Structure 1
Amino acid sequence: MKTEHVEETLERIAREVESTPGGLLAFDGDGTLWSGDVGDDLFMTMTGHDAVREDVRPRLTAVATHYGLETEGSPSTLARRVFSAFQAGRIPEKDICEMATWVAAGWTLEELSAFARGVVESHGVAERVHPEVHRVLEWARAHDVPCYVVSASPLAVVEAAARVVGIPPEQVVASTPQSRDGVVWTDVVSPIPYGPGKVTCLRARTQRPLYAAFGDNVFDLELLGASRVPVAVRPKPRLMERAGSLPLLVQLHPVASR
C-alpha cells in the first residue's frame, strides 16, 4: 500500500471531478475523520450516568442470555456487561453497533440529540479531527464537492460530531434507531452502515458518483472498493492485512495536529 501526501490524493480526486461532475466524497467517522469512537463515547457516558432506561431491559436480557451472560443489575450495568463481552471477543462487533443504537430506547429523539451534542463537546471531538482529513474537507468545500459520513455509530452522536467538521445532518448516514411518536424503540433500521451495509445505506441516500472513500478499518473495505480513489486513513492492522484486495488503495500520510 503506497503512502501519499494529502496534496497528491487531492490531485487524483480533482481529476475524477473534472472527468465526471456531480460526485461526492464519503468518510467513515470513527478513526477516519476523528480519533477514537464517538459511539463508545455516547455509550460509556450514558451507562456511566446510569441513564439506560427500563424500556431496554427485556432486549438487553435477551442478548445477555443468548451469549451466556448474567442478567442481574440495572439496565446500565447489564449494557456494560454486554459491551465487556464484546471487548473480550465473545460478541460480534455488528451486534454491538446495533445495541449502542437501540440502548437509548425510551428517550425522545430530541433528548438523545441534545445528550449526544453534550457528549461530543465534553469529549473534545473538535480537537480529535485528523489534520490531513481536515485538509481534504477544506478542499471539498472550496470545490463544492459534497462530503458524506458513513458510520456504524449511532445517528445522534455522528450527526453531532459531523457538525464539528461542517458536514450537515442530511449528509450523515449512520446507525438509526427505530422510533415511534418521536421516542426511540428497541430496534434499528436495517441494514446498518457496517461492512457491505455502508455501500447499501449510502446508495439508498444518493446515487451520485463516489469519487473517493476514506476509511481506517476492515469493515470499511466495501465502501473503499466502491470508490474511484480508495484512501486508508491511519489504518488499523485488520485493514492493512486486507489491503491487497484493493490494488488501488493508498494510505494518506498522517499530519501533525494543527
Structure 2
Amino acid sequence: MTATHLSTEAFESSITHIAPRTAVFDCDGTLWSGDAGSSFMVWTIETGLLSTEAVNWLNDRYQGYKAGQVSELAICGEMVQVYRGIPEATMRAAAAEFFSTRIEPNIFPELARVIANLQATGTDIWAVSSTNDWVIEEGVRRFNIPANRVLSARVAIENGIVTDKVLDVPTDQGKVDSLRRAGILTPDAVFGNSVHDAAMLAIARQAYPVNPTPALIDRSAAEGWPVYFPASVRPI
C-alpha cells in the first residue's frame, strides 16, 4: 500500500474544494523546511545566550532524547525550560534574529500561498507546534497569523523573566488536547509533516501530510491521506 502523491495544482485544488472554515498547520517541516526548535537551541548555544551549565545539562538531555531515553514530550518542554532566568524581551529579540537569518529563507512559498488564499476567504487559521512560542510566534508573523492563534511550547513568565513552569507542550495527542482547550474539536483541514502530527491529522475532516517523514508516509498510506511535497523538498 502506498500513499497518493498530490501535485501542487491538485493540492491547492483540494483545499479550495473543501472550503475549510478552520485550518490548522504544524510549523517545523510543514510551513518551512528544517526543525526550528533544535536549530534555535544550537544557535543560542553558539551565540552565548545560554550559560555553560545550562548548555551541559541540555546537551546531556538531548543526547538522551536521540538515544530514545528521553521522550518527545519531555525534551520539547525542557528546550523551553532551559532559558529560565532570561528576560522574555531577550528571548523575543533572539528569536527574531534567529528566524530571519536561519529559517525565513526556508519557508515553503506554496504553503504561504495556501494560507494567504485561505485568509482571503475568511478561514480561521491556527498554528500548532512543539517548538517554543518565541520562535513560532515570530515565524508565523510571515504568514499573518496572530499570536492568539498560536498553540506552542511555552512556560510561565513572571515579572518579565522566563521561568521553568511549563504551561503547554503540544506534541502527539497533546496537539489535539491543546486544540480542544482552544475550542477546536474537528478542524476542516489539518497540515502536518511528522508522526507527532498524526493524532491532529486524524481529527480533521481532511488531513494534508506536507513534506511527510517516512513514518508519516506509511501512516498516510494506511489512512488514505494523500501527501504533498513542496517543490524544494520533492523527492526525485
Shared fold (TM-score greater than 0.5)?
Answer: yes
| Rounded Cα–Cα distance in structure 2 between residues aligned with 1:80 and 1:99 | 11
**Residue equivalent to 1:5:** 7
Aligned partners of 1:46, 1:79: CA distance in 2, in Å? 12
Give, as a single letter, the amino acid of the residue that structure 2 aligns with 1:16.
Answer: I
The correspondence for 1:101, drawn from 69, 80, 102, is: 80
Whether the aligned pair in 1 keeps the contact of 2:172 and 2:198 (CA below 8 Å) is: yes
Instruction: Tell me what 1:255 maps to.
Output: 231
Q: Are positions 1:91 and 2:76 aligned together? A: no
Q: Is 1:170–2:148 an aligned residue pair?
A: yes
Residue type at the aligned position of 1:90: Q
1:184 lines up with 2:182 in the alignment: no
- What RMSD in Å do the two structures reach over aligned CA positions? 2.1
Q: Distance in 2 between matches of 1:222 and 1:208?
A: 12
- After the TM superposition, which of the residue ranges 112-121 and 80-89 deviates more from structure 2? 80-89
Deviation at 1:183, TM superposition (A): 1.5
Q: Please name the residue that 1:207 is paired with.
A: 184
The amino acid across from 1:5 in the alignment is S
Confirm whether residue 243 of structure 1 aligns to residue 220 of structure 2. Answer: yes
**2:34 alignment partner in structure 1:** 36
Match of 1:47 in 2: 45
Deviation per CA, 1:42-73, whole angstroms, max 9, x where unpaired? 211222234235xxxxxxxxxxxxxxxxxxx6
**Gap runs ≥5 in structure 2:** none
Query: Structure 1 regions of 5+ residues with no counterpart?
Result: 54-72
Equivalent pair of 2:179/2:185 in contact (CA under 8 Å): no
Shift of 1:80: 1.8
Question: What does residue 55 of structure 2 align with?
Answer: 76
Q: What secondary structure, in the 3-state scheme, does the structure 1 residue paired with 2:188 have? A: strand
Equivalent residues, number: 231
**Aligned 8 A contact 1:51 1:76 in 2:** no
- Structure of greater Rg: 1
Query: What TM-score do the two structures reach when normalised by structure 2?
Result: 0.89
Tell me the percent identity: 25
Residue identity opposite 1:150 in structure 2? V
The equivalent residue for 2:197 is 220
Equivalent AA in structure 2 for residue 88 of structure 1: A
Give the TM-score normalised by structure 1: 0.82
Secondary structure at the aligned position of 1:34 is classed as: coil
> What amino acid maps onto 2:24 in structure 1?
A
